[in-house]
Amino acid sequence: MGRELRAGDCVAIVGAGDIDTMARAWLATVESEDWDRHAERLSAVVSTQTRVKREESLARKTTIGLGGAARLYVEPANSADLQALVKTAKTRGVPVIMLGRGSNLVVPDDGVNALVISLRQPAWETFEARADGRVWVGAGLRLKNLCGLAAKVGLVGFEFLEGIPGNVGGALRMNAGAMGGWMFDVVEEVAVMTLDGEVRTLNKADMHVDYRHCAELHDAIALGALLKPASQSEAASIAKQIEAYKEKRQKTQPREPSAGCIFKNPTGDSAGRLIDASGLKGERVGDAEVSAVHANFIVNRGNATASDVIELVRRVRARVEAAQGVKLEPEVLLYGKHWKDVL
Ligand SMILES: Cc1cc2nc3c(=O)[nH]c(=O)nc-3n(C[C@H](O)[C@H](O)[C@H](O)COP(=O)(O)OP(=O)(O)OC[C@H]3O[C@@H](n4cnc5c(N)ncnc54)[C@H](O)[C@@H]3O)c2cc1C
């Protein structure tokens, strides 16, 4: 990242007015040039199908629709390019952070000082039903498509994924769950790439997975997973179950842009119930609002910023703690940062 400001470097701007402002502007320019150079190096090691972008807006790549840009953003076309990217980033000390469908994230307004990698190209969207009944899915496959394709070939057990707007990679990292099912209920193996570019297969039994968390994917990239259906059935009856889940969601969740449930449910209770009981439905900071439909959703009423959401999270937490004696912990991730640094 950016070079350190050295005394000698400052001479030209000292005495020219507001030193702090000038020094900051100088640093920003130096950092920007550094990111330009990183972009050039990364572009040089990948195929032409992989495009490296500078200052790519992430707001449009998240479901809540807010936040700043990625200093560097790449959609690798294949595994060799991904490997070249992470190896080069490691050598140059550039942090790497994965982006799924952006449905569990709040991107800070000043963006992300990292190389953001998204597996959106077709090579990552595989759905391969095997003869033994198991199915291989790529990390970039949307859960909606996984659910639909599995139903088509008569595989039972993936219906709970209907309506979770992420992809397989994000669902593995978050151990996404709904309607009594969890992502890792159906996982047998996960293929990962380490940040050294090494590809490994991890068995579920060796992985550390709990509520909205998979430890092995903190510092590794999920490439895909081998999934095991619960059973097989007629496509029509699976589709019926999917439809029932869809209806349930439509009745209980807001339609406005959001990042899903903002807080984790505390053991034995529901964050939504606690927020509602604290009289916070409709509470608003700027265009960020606690949904009147489901109190554990913060929705974007149009032009919300990440700062609005952070301030609302702070307010909700304080009020719930005062009224109910429970400290809620965010489930949604503050992309590239830690909540503890801003709350
Ligand atoms: C309307 C709505 C409803 C929702 N309902 C549910 C629900 O019922 N249950 C539930 O669990 N969640 C729900 N969510 C939250 C969200 O959809 C899930 O957490 C989902 O699994 C996130 O997937 P994603 O692809 O969007 O990941 P992102 O939000 O893009 O990323 C989440 C995390 O995964 C990491 N990541 C992404 N891809 C990879 C990869 N290939 N390798 C390693 N790490 C990776 C990211 O770096 C980040 O840390 C909902 C969200 C919305 C907006």
Dump pLDDT digits (tens) for 83-120: 999 999 999 999 999 999 999 999 999 999 999 999 99
Q: Which mutation among 85, 161, 164 tests ligand 1's pocket best, with the greatest number of atoms within 8 A of CB?
A: 164
Same domain, 145 and 64: no
CATH of residue 35: 3.30.43.10
Does ligand 1 come within 6 angstroms of the Cβ of 226?
A: no
Number of structural domains the chain divides into: 3
Q: Do the Cβ atoms of 71 and 35 come closer than 8 Å?
A: yes
- Banded model confidence at residue 20, pLDDT cuts 50, 70, 90: confident
Quick count: other Cβ atoms within 10 Å of Cβ 283?
A: 17
Q: In this predicted model, which residue has the larger pLDDT, 159 or 16?
A: 159
Same domain, 174 and 201: yes
| Residue 16 pLDDT | 47
Domain-located, residue 2: no
Of 120, 136, 164, which residue sits at a domain end?
120
Of 209, 236, 263, which residue sits at a domain end?
236
Instruction: Give the structural domain span for 171.
Output: 125-236
End-to-end CA distance of the chain: 26
Domain-located, residue 325: yes
Cα–Cα dist 90/54, whole Å: 18
Same domain, 267 and 296: yes
pLDDT above 90 coverage of the chain, percent = 90
Same domain, 154 and 199: yes
Does ligand 1 come within 6 angstroms of the Cβ of 209?
A: no
Average pLDDT of the segment spanning 215-240: 96
Same domain, 208 and 295: no
Residue 261 annotated as catalytic: yes
Same domain, 37 and 109: yes
Pairing of strands 96-99, 112-118: parallel
3-state secondary structure of 161: helix
Domain-located, residue 203: yes
CATH of residue 263: 3.90.78.10
Cα–Cα dist 92/211, whole Å: 34
Among positive and negative, which fits the CA dihedral 57, 114, 214, 143?
Answer: positive
Chain centre to alpha carbon of residue 163: 16
Interval 300-334: pLDDT, tens: 999 999 999 999 999 999 999 999 999 999 999 99
- Banded model confidence at residue 18, pLDDT cuts 50, 70, 90: low
Average pLDDT of the segment spanning 244-258: 95
- Banded model confidence at residue 10, pLDDT cuts 50, 70, 90: very low
The pTM of this model reads 0.92
Of 236, 261, 288, which residue sits at a domain end?
236
Same domain, 137 and 103: no
Interval 261-270: pLDDT, tens: 999 999 999 9
Can you give the three-state secondary structure of 227-295, one letter per residue? ECCCEECCHHHHHHHHHHHHHHHHHHCCCCCEEEECECCCCCCCHHHHHHHCCCCCCEECCEEECCCCC
Same domain, 129 and 218: yes
